[in-house]
């Protein structure tokens, strides 16, 4: 974090659909080894921005460099060093988890042991299960396992915790923190601000295709407080989610 070396650099990114501007002039850097959050309401342009960086979508204009490679010239090289978890992506039908991991290993040209990948996300017991038969939290963990197959430098997670219960959500946070500890840069989108506050080193707020704020969660909160903002209700030392976890236990229900 101290070095602040940019691994992703986005300059003046614009994406226009026929009569609709989804992204208008985004500029930001993602630093090496950080967890970077893209926050904003639905339709703000978060997913579009991610997919352009992931080389899955063409941009209208602007410049994007990922680990020294340009999305225009070297999309193939970029694909080899990133891991991508898509919102609501499915997996090849009728295959079990081990077979799916083998498939992705072939697609990435990576030489890995499928069981070791599943162990990383604690799914070794589900090795012979079909993706469809997994719970929401397990599905997300499996998706994350597929992003790690090529030992990527950066992984992109698009709303990985949407629809999960509190236990599964916290469990996924632990996994994401572990991945970052192993040296991987994480770019994440989410609608949950508590999640962003817990996980992200820095966050960017996107609104109508523009960045309206970019800083560490702490700085952003301080800024708001300094401007004289006050919560209507006094903040207690715990919230209702803490009560929920305290009552129902920490272990995952899957």
Partner 1 sequence: MNDQNSVNASGTGTYSNLTATLALAKASFRSIMRSPSAVVFTLAFPLIFILVFGFLGGGGTRIDVGVTPGSDVDNPVMGMLEQTGMIRLVKDKSKADFDKLLEKGNVDAMIDVHRKVNSSAYSVNVVYTSASRDKGGILKSVLNNAFYNKTLKPSVAEIKESTIVGREYRTIDFILPGQLGFSLLSTGVFGTAFVFLSLRQTLVIKRFFATPVRRSSIVIGEGIARIGFALIGALFIILIGHFFFHFTLVHGVVTVVNMLLLATMGIIVFMGFGFIISGIAKSESMVPPISNIVTLPQFLLSGTFFSIEAFPTWLQPISRALPLTYLNDAMRKVAFEGMGLWDVKFQIMILVIWGIGIYAVAVKVFKWE
Binding site for partner 1 (CB under 8 A): 54-56, 76-77, 79-82, 84, 86, 88-95, 99-100, 102-113, 116, 146, 150-153
10 vs 196, beta carbon nearer partner 1: 10
Inter-axis angle of helices 240-248 and 166-181, nearest 10: 100
Residues paired with 133 in a beta bridge: none
Q: From the CB of 41, what's the least distance to partner 1, in Å?
A: 22
Smallest gap, in angstroms, from Cβ of residue 48 to partner 1? 14
Q: How far is the CB of 91 from partner 1 (least distance, A)?
A: 6
- To partner 1, the closest distance from the beta carbon of 212 in angstroms equals 28
Q: Residue 96 or residue 198: which is nearer to partner 1 going by CB? A: 96
* Residues 137/171, Cβ–Cβ less than 8 Å: yes
Task: Judge contact between 49 and 40, C-beta under 8 A.
Answer: no
Q: Please report how close the Cβ of residue 74 comes to partner 1 at its closest, in angstroms.
A: 9
Q: Which is nearer to partner 1, 68 or 244 (CB)?
A: 68
| Residue 224, token pair as written in the block | 């708001």
Max CA pair span of the chain: 57
Rounded to a whole number of angstroms, the minimum distance from the CB of residue 188 to partner 1 is 16
35: enclosing H helix or E strand: strand 35-39
**Is the CB of 78 or the CB of 211 nearer to partner 1?**
78
Closer to partner 1 by CB, 121 or 203: give it: 121
Nearer to partner 1, 93 or 228 (CB): 93
What is the phi/psi pair of residue 243, to 5°? -60, -45
DSSP string, 37-94: EEE--TTSSHHHHHHHHTTSS--SEEEEEETTEETTT-HHHHHHHEEEE-TT----TT
C-alpha distances (whole Å) from 251 to each of 30, 156, 168, 247 are 33, 26, 9, 11
């Amino acid at each position: 974090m101290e070095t602040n070396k940019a691994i992703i650099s986005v300059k003046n990114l614009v994406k226009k659909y026929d009569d609709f501007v989804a992204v208008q002039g985004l500029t930001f850097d993602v630093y090496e080894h950080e967890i970077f959050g893209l926050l904003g309401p639905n339709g703000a342009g978060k997913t579009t921005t991610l997919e352009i960086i992931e080389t899955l979508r063409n941009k209208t204009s602007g410049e994007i460099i990922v680990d020294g490679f340009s999305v225009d010239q070297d999309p193939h090289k970029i694909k080899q060093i990133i891991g991508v978890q898509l919102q609501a992506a499915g997996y090849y039908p009728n295959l079990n988890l081990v077979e799916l991991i083998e498939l992705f290993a072939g697609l990435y040209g990576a030489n890995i042991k499928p069981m070791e990948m599943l162990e990383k996300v604690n799914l070794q017991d589900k090795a012979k299960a079909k993706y469809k038969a997994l719970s929401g939290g397990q599905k997300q963990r499996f998706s994350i396992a597929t992003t790690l197959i090529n030992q990527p430098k950066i992984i992109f997670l698009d709303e990985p915790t949407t629809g999960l219960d509190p236990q599964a959500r916290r469990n996924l946070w632990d996994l994401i923190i572990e991945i970052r500890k192993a040296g991987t840069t994480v770019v994440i989108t989410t609608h949950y601000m508590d999640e962003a506050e817990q996980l992200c080193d820095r966050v960017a707020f996107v609104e109508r295709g523009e960045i309206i704020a970019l800083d560490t969660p702490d700085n952003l909160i301080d800024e708001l407080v300094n401007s004289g903002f006050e919560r209507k209700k006094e903040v207690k030392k715990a919230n209702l989610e803490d009560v929920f976890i305290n009552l129902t236990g920490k272990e995952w229900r899957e």
